[in-house]
Structure 1
């Protein structure tokens, strides 16, 4: 029997779908699950793809079934379970075999695992996979971090299973060790911001304009025909239009307003802070999810504090205001992407990855959750101006920021005046206003720091005097 081209451990939903995708694209794959019953069940349900699948009951049998050097995808819960699975595999592996973590791993864990295998003869790939269950089955966006040699061993298989955009596969080798998982983390951070801003616009339409779920669905449906065309806008229309089969009410109105999170958004915000790169949209989105989880406290606070005593949102021209909402959402989206790419640029320098920004934008155009026509513009912007300090100063995006600035300002102002929370959209406005102001207010902060801690400062005239005439000040 011919050996498999690749192996996969972990036949949960994501692992099963990825394995079927690999088999369907003509690649022979060996599969193993901790419980042999699940392996047998998966194989029996594979139908016409059985001929491409080698089900294995033991690790020894599994490893022997794969053509050396053996690439083995580990698709299990991130964290300690991956380390444990790697230790179980190691005694059966040979020189140049490759262990591939395809879960939502913290890139620091990926770097640690990569380094731990450096002198062992084995190697490690950290592989970000975006697109959820559907993407895993029919074509995800794939972000690979590892040695170039290990990438070449899996390139054919991964290219065959990746999503395609105008026939371009949405997969790329992005650099060594943690590069792939870092890019996936920032992808998820941008996703958090994008989803939060969509929710804020929904809130203005629902609570400000008193529109029904079906009416709001129609608005998002129209927006999906224009510059906001994207997977998230598309599914927002669908979830708002859906009806609850139990109550008959709009499904969205029956869902408790407590959002979950698995950590990648928080990691994005933490790494941005570690590198001193502002990612205020991501931070606002993470904080908003956290606040949403305090459902009981929010209800108690509403009873104690009440809602702001402000007039109902009334607009003279409803259609014009909805157009402003569309432009404001586009502006916020620009801010979130600009921040995400700025964080990746800083990480690229910090870790020596040389991340290819146009390529990252390209492989996000299909398969992944944040896929949108917007990414074509980002690809073009970074291709034309690869050394741009920030996405928003590239010619195309500078024009978009100028065009949408007024709408964002009007929407955030209206929301604030009527007590409608828009933390992510407001953060985008603050980011734009801060980033483009050549003379800011940090001089006061520097003076304060020097006063209480003698931290010193630089002078605008360049004079060789770095402390103010404050006297002794305070220690702090």
Structure 2
């Protein structure tokens, strides 16, 4: 009788859940679906999933009973308490060795907690990042699973069939124990924030300094994308040529300049601080979104302080801008990979960074031509200090950093905020500086707090009696 049952279930029938179910059904898998609101399940089964390998279920008990053992259930529900609620409701119907896969953007510490709680009950758990948006879910996403390795082996064929496919294989692999999958997705999203901000800053320079129209910018980004082969660049040039149906204006000109965020970029920054890792380009992108959201304050302050934006730049500046975006994008990846490298050791993930780059090659938001050389760099040296010194990128940095420097110095004179472009340059300059002024900071700390310091000329820990406190 088990053979007549379904292969896998998807809980959560928002568009991502629907598309993932349709994707799996199109690969010959038999899929059960469930949504807390039964009407949503019914509509999906009768419309988009009609005559597909998809069965609607209307209670969690019916869902669980519709599945082959061990049961395999993917949660596509909102991160946070809803995930805990669904797990709690599922548990009475599950047997030991059944598998729960959390496919949402869960915070990695929540994933660690759920993994431990379910492990004690004999339920296998995979915290799984899924990237690619609605289109990726339907046509093949990048899938980042971590957690119970035996559970991954059980669902491996299903995930490999569902994932985006490249010449190097399906864009999925077992990443490691515990929360490794959701951690990798979190850092993926941090890199995504940075690249989006870098593109946006480049667009801002084009419109404010170079006085380009959206149509002209679209052509330039399309040409530049020959170098990047990037999903984010691709959607950028498509957006810039899109006209608003109501006004006939370029749609980008009628959209309010106030960006929202769901928290994954912020989590990357918070954890980088905890791990003592510098990711300034990603950090600047998160801050830029926060600043964009206080539109009323910006209008009020902008009425007091006018900034100069008129500049005379020759045609060669557009080539400098091209190089600036190119090299700062590599820096965004470098920051993310460094964070993954350190977190892997700190949290015992044992990540293969070459494999991480491989599964990002297609189906995900940060797919680009840079991922192939990143893959090669970490395959050659898993302990690579930083991508900026890899053989794959060294010549790019030597050639293009002067143009990033040119763009930052010129645009700062125009009073245009370019936090991520500036931070990318500062990251490079900081990493490549043999001397930084932290010696003075150490002296200051020792002066006011007796925090001690090390010396250049001999071993040991030292303190100077800067103030004669005994005679006070």
Does the TM-score normalized on the shorter chain lie above 0.5? Answer: yes
1:191 corresponds in structure 2 to 192
**Residues 307-318 of structure 1 mapped to structure 2, 5 A cutoff:** 307-308=307-308, 312-316=310-314, 318=315
The 8 Å contact of residues 141 and 368 in structure 1, kept in 2 or not, is answered as yes
Residue by residue over 1:133-166, the C-alpha shift from the partner in whole angstroms, topping out at 9 and shown as x without a partner, is 0000110000001111010011000000100122
Cα distance, 1:49 vs structure 2: 4.5
Partners in 2 of 1:79 and 1:86 — Cα distance?
Answer: 12
Structure 2: how far apart are the matches of 1:302 and 1:15?
Answer: 43
| Alignment partner, residue 106 of structure 2 | 105
Q: 1:33 aligns with which of 20, 32, 35?
A: 35
Matched with 1:277 is 277
What does 1:10-409 align with in structure 2 at a 5 Å threshold?
Answer: 10-47=12-49, 49-50=51-52, 52-166=53-167, 168-225=169-226, 227-308=227-308, 312-316=310-314, 318=315, 320-409=316-405
Q: In 2, distance between residues paired with 1:86 and 1:465?
A: 52
> Using the alignment, how far apart are the partners of 2:13 and 2:299 within structure 1?
41
Could you tell me how far apart the structure 2 residues matched to 1:245 and 1:87 are? 46
Say if 1:328 and 1:404, in contact at 8 Å, map to a contact too: yes
Shift of the alpha carbon at 1:389?
1.1
Q: Which residue of 2 aligns with 1:414?
A: 410
Q: Note the C-alpha offset of 1:469.
A: 4.2
- Whether contact under 8 Å (1:125, 1:150) holds in the other structure is yes
Could you say if the C-alpha distance between residues 63 and 473 of structure 1 is closer, same or farther in structure 2, counting changes exceeding 3 Å? farther
Cα deviation, residue 373, structure 1:
1.0
Displacement of 1:331: 1.2
RMSD: 1.4
What is the alpha-carbon distance in structure 2 between the residues aligned to residue 229 and residue 321 of structure 1? 22
Segments of structure 2 that go 5 or more residues without pairing to the other structure are none
For the structure 1 residues 402 and 155, does the alpha-carbon distance in structure 2 shift closer, same or farther, using more than 3 Å as the test? Answer: same
Offset, 1:48: 5.9
Unaligned runs of 5+ in 1: none
Matches of 2:360 and 2:459 in 1, distance apart?
48
Find the aligned partners of 1:403 and 1:64 in 2 and give their Cα distance: 61
Structure 1 Cα separation of the partners of residues 452 and 22 of structure 2: 61
Normalised by the length of structure 1, the TM-score is 0.96
Question: CA contact under 8 A between 1:23 and 1:49: conserved in structure 2?
Answer: no
Moved more, 63-72 or 136-145: 63-72
SS in structure 2 of the partner of residue 372 of structure 1 = coil
Q: Distance in 2 between matches of 1:110 and 1:449?
A: 38
Alignment partner, residue 430 of structure 1: 426
Q: CA deviation at 1:465?
A: 5.0
Which secondary structure state, in structure 2, belongs to the residue aligned with residue 396 of structure 1?
coil
In 2, distance between residues paired with 1:172 and 1:461? 49
Match 1:461 to one of 453, 457, 462: 457
Does the aligned pair in 2 maintain the 1:452–1:473 contact within 8 Å?
A: no
Structure 1 runs of 4+ aligned residues shifted over 4 Å read none
Residues in 2 aligned to 1:16 and 1:146: alpha-carbon distance in whole angstroms? 24
Q: Is the 8 A contact 2:430 2:436 kept in 1?
A: yes
Partners of 2:307 and 2:414 within 8 A in 1: no
Count residues with an aligned counterpart. 468
